[in-house]
Chain A
Amino acid sequence: GAGVSQSPSNKVTEKGKDVELRCDPISGHTALYWYRQSLGQGLEFLIYFQGNSAPDKSGLPSDRFSAERTGGSVSTLTIQRTQQEDSAVYLCASSLVGENSYEQYFGPGTRLTVT
């Protein structure tokens, strides 16, 4: 089966523009996560969706960042009025959810460059 896919793979935008990043999780995975990885840094949690529950937005760095997940599958991360410090690789992951702990599977990421 297909893994997690993300689009676009690369995005260059001008400061102040809005961008949308897309994530298609593994079919059947009810949990979806967005992370950000700045150059040479570890992964920083942004937001987490599980089923129909309200998302955990505790990692979003500012109100310019938002995300939605339609139909419990595809997710879109939107960054409004982009700033240069938003430049990073944005990684999406998905996992099963249940009594056991499940590993997260990552997509290839979107490299965002704000000029």
Chain B
Amino acid sequence: EDKVVQSPLSLVVHEGDTVTLNCSYEVTNFRSLLWYKQEKKAPTFLFMLTSSGIEKKSGRLSSILDKKELFSILNITATQTGDSAVYLCAVGPYNAGNMLTFGGGTRLMVKP
């Protein structure tokens, strides 16, 4: 059975801090790993990673995948209160378009 584990479960930081969120996985026929940000209801897409060692970056957010050790990290630098959300990691199998297996999420709270 495919499995995705995120850590920590929750995190409280102050504005300006840097955070690292972790995602480890066990999945057959791995194809891609995705990060989403969920503030209220709809998760919004952040990154999709398919290759090891290639960092994806968007503003203050960046992510990298290690397919040998089966994990990914999501970094957020110079955190802002607007970064407060649940961050979800999901993995998808090789067959294009198939369902994603999600981790339980990391709840991040950024205090002013």
**Residues on A facing B (Cβ under 8 Å):** 4, 30-31, 33, 35, 41-45, 48, 50, 56, 59, 89, 91, 95-109, 111
- The answer to whether B45 touches A108 (Cβ under 8 A) is no
- The answer to whether A109 touches B96 (Cβ under 8 A) is no
* Smallest beta-carbon distance A38→chain B, Å: 11
* Smallest beta-carbon distance B97→chain A, Å: 4
Q: Determine the interface band of chain B, counting residues with CB < 8 A from chain A.
A: 20 to 34
- The answer to whether B99 touches A45 (Cβ under 8 A) is yes
User: What's the count of A-B pairs with C-beta under 8 Å?
Assistant: 67
- The answer to whether A101 touches B100 (Cβ under 8 A) is no
- The answer to whether A101 touches B92 (Cβ under 8 A) is yes
**Residues on B facing A (Cβ under 8 Å):** 31-32, 34, 36, 40-45, 48, 50, 88, 90, 92, 96-105
- The answer to whether A45 touches B100 (Cβ under 8 A) is yes
* 20 sampled A-B residue pairs with Cβ under 8 A: A33-B99, A35-B102, A42-B103, A42-B105, A45-B99, A45-B102, A56-B99, A59-B99, A91-B43, A101-B31, A101-B32, A101-B48, A101-B96, A102-B97, A103-B45, A103-B48, A104-B34, A108-B40, A108-B42, A111-B41
